[in-house]
């Protein structure tokens, strides 16, 4: 059977089961397992759970009524990997045929038996400790699985394929050089014989890119640059009298979503470079802070939608794109949505890239020294974090009530959301039964400040900010919210005393699982947000859980390792949970 046809058949079986694309179509699993997936959903086969990145499980054995009996089955340790203060544990576990695969912030990969909690094999990345181009903590956000291999992108710019059974490298390539500012933090995507990966480095004066490699041997198949060059669509949104586009940023922080029927991948991009100085980069600066659709086989551009024009606020879009079908005005539409640092969810038609519910261009305040855009896109519906400062922080006079898109220069301006506000990297989740979209955000005020900085791009791999990350004059708080994708209106919203820095997973059992910085894993009633269960893991739970069935029992697996940005306690634990568990909670850190 040809690989493409096999993928379509696999997707069709999954759709029959849960009404959404639950299982990766291009994964090319053994025929017997395809039947098992249709009936049992007994794995979590990629970062995001399915090709649509929905972080949704159709399993319901663990539900609102039974979750009170959920306990740990075992706790496994990862040999202290990634426990130092510079590391963050952000990876979502991948599960296949009774084995849990996890990567730490040190890019070490572990294979752990579901039955015993014992380590079956370990791959050590042995990263160079002198790497200087990593932004925002040493981390990996996950692994890819396909063709009997585990794929890991590393902070040193290498892409490595490991044998799924032994952990031994089958191929390893230098995808990009870390010295030039291109670490890999996102989980790669395996689809239809390709391994597709984006590169970080937006603060390093880089030119963003996504690459696809042949899964068999790692040879390069295609490259797409997120900053267009001369003669390419969008190049006219950069100055024509300098080389700003060569250092324009727009890097990629997350794993793309895939629509196998359309043959497209979808992802969003980071801020333009330099971050805070727009003076050297006149124009809208495509494709920074944009959602993009590319042809999966070729990397050919299909469409884009820019969320922030000529960004000055570090409002990049690191949250993974989620795909779903939703009824709008009586018609079922193919949607792509992403929660952004701006505090909005942008909902587009994934065929055309046009807004589904409306996104309006509205005038915004101007700062001539920053060459600000005259207008910005405002999605219709509700923001999930506040867009203004209600009361001025001490010693910080308010300009424009600190509203979103308030410009600034050397004097500095206090405004919301902050660069660490809105939705950052922690993945959102989506329930296809209700059309509810769950987002982890932070309500934070920032002091934005720029100046006569970075007029000339630095050498490759050095910081290129055009200002400073001004910090928060008052502490931020977490926001966890549910929005209805039929209207983009809030269903419920709650404030946490600490920033929200963990992705979520929703289930057919009416639950949303989300971690907390203080070490708790919690389950919320997906309809109301009420917390119905919690468990202390002993370290920050700053990665999304995975949900799967093994030998007729439903399990939850969580990585408890802490996070640099969240300032949460470090650990090296994998916890497995079921209704038959007997292991008690850990001591609070």
**Active site residue ranges:** 314
Whole-number Å distance between alpha carbons of 215 and 349: 30
**What is each CA distance from 113 to 91, 150, 553, in whole angstroms?**
18, 16, 15
Q: Give SS3 for 2.
A: coil
Bridge partners, 305 (sequence order): 291
Whole-number Å distance between alpha carbons of 185 and 188: 9
User: Which element (helix H / strand E) includes 303?
Assistant: strand 301-306
Query: Is 412 exposed, middle or buried (CB count within 10 Å of its CB: 0-12, 13-18, 19+)?
Result: middle
Three-class DSSP labels, 169-187? EEEEEECCCHHHCCCCCCC
Whole-number Å distance between alpha carbons of 262 and 15: 15
CB atoms within 10 A of CB 421: 28
Closest alpha carbon to 111 in 50, 186, 165, 46: 165
Two structure tokens written together for 176: 């990009």
- Give pairs for 408-411: CB < 8 Å, separation 24+: 408/276, 408/312, 408/367, 408/370, 408/448, 408/449, 408/450, 409/367, 409/369, 409/370, 409/450, 409/451, 410/449, 410/450, 410/451, 410/452, 411/449
Closest alpha carbon to 272 in 253, 256, 258, 285: 285
Whole-number Å distance between alpha carbons of 556 and 506: 11
Bridge partners, 74 (sequence order): 576
Whole-number Å distance between alpha carbons of 483 and 204: 35
User: Which element (helix H / strand E) includes 257?
Assistant: strand 257-259
User: What secondary structure does DSSP assign to 416-432, as a single string?
Assistant: SS-TTSB--SSPPEEET
């Amino acid at each position: 059977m040809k690989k493409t046809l096999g993928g379509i058949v696999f997707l069709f079986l999954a759709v029959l089961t849960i009404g959404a694309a639950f299982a990766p179509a291009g994964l090319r699993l053994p025929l017997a397992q395809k039947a098992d997936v249709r009936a049992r959903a007994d794995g979590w086969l990629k970062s995001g759970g399915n090709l649509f990145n929905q972080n949704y499980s159709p399993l319901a054995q663990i539900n609102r009524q039974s979750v009170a009996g959920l306990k740990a089955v075992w706790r496994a340790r990862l040999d202290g990997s990634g426990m130092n203060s510079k590391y963050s544990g952000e990876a979502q576990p991948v599960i296949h045929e009774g084995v849990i695969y996890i990567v730490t912030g040190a890019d070490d990969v572990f294979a752990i038996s579901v039955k015993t909690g014992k380590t079956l094999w370990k791959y050590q990345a042995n990263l160079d400790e002198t790497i200087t181009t990593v932004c925002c903590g040493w981390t990996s956000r996950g692994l890819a699985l396909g063709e009997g291999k585990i794929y890991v992108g590393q902070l040193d710019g290498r892409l490595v394929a490991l044998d799924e059974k032994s952990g031994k490298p089958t191929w390893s390539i230098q995808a990009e050089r870390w010295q030039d500012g291109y670490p890999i933090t996102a989980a790669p995507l395996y689809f239809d014989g390709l391994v597709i990966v984006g590169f970080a480095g937006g603060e390093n004066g880089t030119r963003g890119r996504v690459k696809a490699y042949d899964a068999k041997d790692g040879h390069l198949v295609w490259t797409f640059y997120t900053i267009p060059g001369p003669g390419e669509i969008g190049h006219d949104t950069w100055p024509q009298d300098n080389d700003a586009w060569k250092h324009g940023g727009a890097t990629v922080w997350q794993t793309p979503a895939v629509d196998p029927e359309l043959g497209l991948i979808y992802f969003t991009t980071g801020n333009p470079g330099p971050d805070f100085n727009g003076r050297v980069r006149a124009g809208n600066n495509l494709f920074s802070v944009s959602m993009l659709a590319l042809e999966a086989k070729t990397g050919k551009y299909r469409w884009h939608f820019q969320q922030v024009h000529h960004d000055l606020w570090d409002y990049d879009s690191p949250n993974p794109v989620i795909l779903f079908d939703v009824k709008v005005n009586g018609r079922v539409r193919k949607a792509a949505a992403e929660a952004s640092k701006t505090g909005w969810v942008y909902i587009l038609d994934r065929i055309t890239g046009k807004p589904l519910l409306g996104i309006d261009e509205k005038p915004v305040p101007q700062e001539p020294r920053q060459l600000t855009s005259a207008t910005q896109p405002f999605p219709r519906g509700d923001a999930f974090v506040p867009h203004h400062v209600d009361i001025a922080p001490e010693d910080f006079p308010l300009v424009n009530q600190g509203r979103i898109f308030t410009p600034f220069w050397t004097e500095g301006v206090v405004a919301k959301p902050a660069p660490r506000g809105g939705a950052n990297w922690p993945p959102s989740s989506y329930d296809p039964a209700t059309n509810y979209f769950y987002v982890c955000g932070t309500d934070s005020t920032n002091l934005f400040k720029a100046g006569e900085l970075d007029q000339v791009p630095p050498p490759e791999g050095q910081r290129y900010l055009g200002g400073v990350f001004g910090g928060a004059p008052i502490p931020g708080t977490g926001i966890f919210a549910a929005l209805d994708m039929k209207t983009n209106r809030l269903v419920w919203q709650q404030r946490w005393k600490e920033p929200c820095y963990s992705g979520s997973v929703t289930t057919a059992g009416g639950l949303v699982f989300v971690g907390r910085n203080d070490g708790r894993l919690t389950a919320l009633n997906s309809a109301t947000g009420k917390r119905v269960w919690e468990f202390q893991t002993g370290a920050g739970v700053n990665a999304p859980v995975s949900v799967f069935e093994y030998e007729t029992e439903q399990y939850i697996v969580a990585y408890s390792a802490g996070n640099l940005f969240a300032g949460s306690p470090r650990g090296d634990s994998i916890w497995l949970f079921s209704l038959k568990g007997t292991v008690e909670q850990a001591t609070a850190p």
